[in-house]
Amino acid sequence: MQISVFGAGAWGTALAQSFSDAHQVTLWGRDPAHVEELRQDKENRRYLPGLPLNPVLRLTSDFNEAAFGADLHLVVTPLAGLRNTTRTLHRLQPGTPLIWACKGLEAGSARLPHEIVFEELGADASCGVLTGPSFAAEVARGLPAAVAIASADADFATQWVHNLHQPLLRLYANTDVVGCEIGGALKNVMAIAAGVSDGMGFGLNARAALITRGLAEIARLADALGGKPETLMGLAGMGDLILTCTGDLSRNRRVGLALAQGKTLTDILRDLGHVAEGVSTAREVAAMAERVGVDMPLCTAVNALLHEGHVAREVVEQLLARDPKQE
């Protein structure tokens, strides 16, 4: 099977690497200089240093070359690139099955990824989302992981779980696209909060409380948008949330750690060198929560810290001053 992966960042490279043992995989990167570096170095030094690329992996910066002839288009760009990538793929090779591995809410519109795809391809498109607890560096090294493919079309999800399942990258089918995408988007916001908590030395008890209450917030919003509560107990919810809030490889958690040290967001993102989707998602989810009438104090606090000029200690004090309530 021919699979074209669009996005040569850490996660796109990791998925291309994982699937290249069983399929013919092409990895597309938008920057020709970066793609040439991959060829010369035989590794992605910019995003996954020290991990040799599979020699059979095809590399290209020619979008048309990657799009034509593929049995699957797998879009692993940052969320900001999903709309244009999907639109261009539809123009070049319409009808090709599409899976995206982007997480977040579209800046300015608060669209979930599937809403973006449906606007570009139509609601009857053969498509789904790949999501779940998965650090790119570990997947690229061949360490065990489990993720979900969610699609409104149960047959699509089942088919592509069967096609892409690997011994060390286990896939599970799901039909709750909304629940899976809300879990994948909001866990990044909660990871920033967890990083702030850890950076301020609040300890493991506080982190456990934050993760638990964060999951409750995520489930409330998912329910309001039509997601299933049980989805948030699975890979795309609790699994991804725990990993991102506790793992040292989490970019969003590192943003929170740096905020607790008093660093500016501009400096943090410059030093990070990767996209931290929780930064833009925090603003969109805070507005969405107010619009749909869902109480989300943690997400609101993270947005205040990132985008409204508040400082970490002030935000924490406001959270701790909230009135007690039933769980």
Residues classed as catalytic:
187
Q: Which amino acid, 283? A: R
Instruction: Render 133-161 in DSSP notation, one character per residue.
Output: S--HHHHHTT--EEEEEE-SSHHHHHHHH
Return the percent helix, strand and coil in the chain, to nearest 5. Answer: 55, 15, 30
Q: Which amino acid, 98? A: L
Sign of CA dihedral 134, 300, 196, 311: positive
CB-based contact 140:166 (threshold 8 Å): no
Tokens 């998912």 correspond to what residue?
222
What residues contact 225, with CB distance under 8 A and at least 6 apart? 178, 182, 292
> Which candidate, 7, 282, 243, places its Cα nearest to that of 131?
243
> Which candidate, 198, 195, 245, places its Cα nearest to that of 218?
245
Measured distance CA(146)–CA(236) in Å, rounded: 10
What residues contact 62, with CB distance under 8 A and at least 6 apart? 28
Measured distance CA(240)–CA(257) in Å, rounded: 19
Measured distance CA(128)–CA(160) in Å, rounded: 9
Q: Rounded to the nearest 5°, which phi and psi values hold at 137?
A: -60, -35
